[in-house]
Chains A and B, each alone.
Chain A
Amino acid sequence: MLNSLRSLALLAVLSTAYAGAVSAHHSTGMFDQAKTIKLVGTVKQFQWTNPHSWIQLDVANAEGVKEEWSIEGNSPNQLIRLGWRPGTLKPGDTVTVLVKPMRDGAKGGMFVEITLADGTVLKQYDR
């Protein structure tokens, strides 16, 4: 398991393609809008809840040690209109998530796009 996580480990700073995204429930000031990081990992839990959905993602760090990330997204009413479903993610799924990370370096952030194991891409916003 750890080996597979290690082989998937990837943390890269990408462009600012999603700057300006806003959250419905609270300010997004805690997220670094100038950064987008790519996390590849294994879904531990998918919370399809209000006021935010959450992806709990196990990601191997540079040393190969598994770390749990809390990645929040919009509420189910918004996601379902963009093609997401309550069963989109299941524990154990391997996914790639683009994330606006927390400014303070905590293992958290806001997801903006996800690529499922079958290549399906789902976004957080319709723009």
Chain B
Amino acid sequence: MTMTPRERCLSLSRIAVFILAAWMPLQGWAAQATPLPDWSGVWQRRGSGEAKASATGGGPAKVGERSLPPYNAEWQKKFDANAELVKQDRFPDPLSFCGIPVGYPRVVNLPDSYEFVVRPEQVWILTENGPNLMRIYTDGRSHPPADLLWPTYTGDSVGHWEGDTLVFDTISIKNDGDTIFDRNGTVFSDRIQVVTRIRLTAPDTLTADLTVTDPGALTEPYKIVRQFRRIEAGARVYDYACRENNRNPIDASGKTLTLGTDGRVIDIAK
């Protein structure tokens, strides 16, 4: 029995579909209904890292024009005290100490470059500054049970994909003093929980929408929008060893000092 050219073509197509159907699950592709987005390359934060000090309220924020958090009375006092320290240039920032991870959500508010590594089972946010690593599980797992959970700088993040949007929940964030978000004095309590949604909103623009809930410090959820632009193709990410030559130590009062090459303070005491 001979096949017509059309029958031969159909037969070959069926064989190809069968082979592909048997092979794809082995590659782990079947678990992801839609292809994972391309977040490759090197990225940098858009705009300033600080909220506008003149803004009030905690409503939805525009990129670069984030409003200040809706603090309860106790934490408003803390923020006001921090604002005073900012004026005196003595507000502590973990970024300045060299060696302490900045934690979450500060990880999305850093200078220097970023990488967003998308894998089927995890997403990693790698920051050049620090460096810092944020690990987000997307393999379907839940947060650990309470007896396996203790506060850490980046907390515990589990997430999933809603089409091309990464959605993840972060809990158990370590609170040394307070969790700071920027140098304006924005702080959160140890009851902070963050839901983050990240997606490409333009070919070279990643937008992160954060909803911060914190019954310890906030009267309502606080929304933060951060954007990142993809820089030129082929850009490298460089070493950032903050302890290499830190000539700006912080003294006990929170003041940033300047050291000469001999290690002596060159500031003129006032």
Contact = CB atoms under 8 A, between A and B. Distances in A.
Interface stretch (B117-125, B148-156, B169-177, B239-247): B239-247
Contact of A26 (B96, B237, B259, B270): B96
Secondary structure dominating the interface of B: loop
Which of A51, A52, A77 is packed against the most chain B CB atoms within 10 Å?
A51
A104 B258 CA distance: 11
Given A49-B245, A72-B247, A78 B112 contact: yes
A56 B261 CA distance: 8
Given A24-B111, A26-B256, A30-B258, A106 B240 contact: no
B109 interface: no
B266 A50 contact: no
A64 interface: no
Say whether chain A's binding surface is mostly helix, strand, loop, or mixed. loop
A50 B258 contact: no
Nearest to B248: A26
A25 B257 CA distance: 13
B177 to A, nearest CB: 17
Nearest to A48: B245
A24 B248 CA distance: 12
A108 B112 contact: no
B262 to A, nearest CB: 10
A45 B261 CA distance: 10
A63 B236 CA distance: 46
Most B CB within 10 A of own CB, among A24, A70, A105: A24
B183 interface: yes
Nearest to B240: A50
B128 interface: yes
A106 B266 contact: yes
A119 interface: no
Interface in A2-36: 22, 24-27, 29-30
Contacts of B250: 26
A25 B267 contact: no
A77 B237 contact: yes
Contacts of B266: 70, 106-108
Contact of A25 (B237, B248, B268): B248
Contacts of A81: 231, 235
B190 interface: no
Contact of A24 (B89, B129, B258): B129
A100 B181 CA distance: 27
Interface string B167-204: 00000000000000001000000000000000000000
Nearest to A78: B112
Interface string A90-123: 0000000000001011111000000000000000
B67 interface: no
Contact of B93 (A27, A49, A107): A27
A56 B183 CA distance: 29
Interface string A41-83: 0000101011110101000000000001010100111101100
Nearest to A47: B245
A106 B245 contact: no
Contacts of B237: 77
Contacts of A51: 98, 240, 242, 244-246, 248
B244 A49 contact: yes
20 contacts: A24-B95, A25-B95, A25-B96, A25-B242, A27-B93, A30-B256, A47-B261, A49-B245, A50-B245, A51-B242, A52-B245, A56-B261, A70-B247, A70-B260, A70-B261, A76-B238, A77-B240, A104-B267, A107-B266, A108-B266
Given A50-B240, A76-B238, A106-B268, 7 more contacts: A24-B112, A24-B129, A25-B95, A49-B244, A49-B245, A68-B260, A77-B239
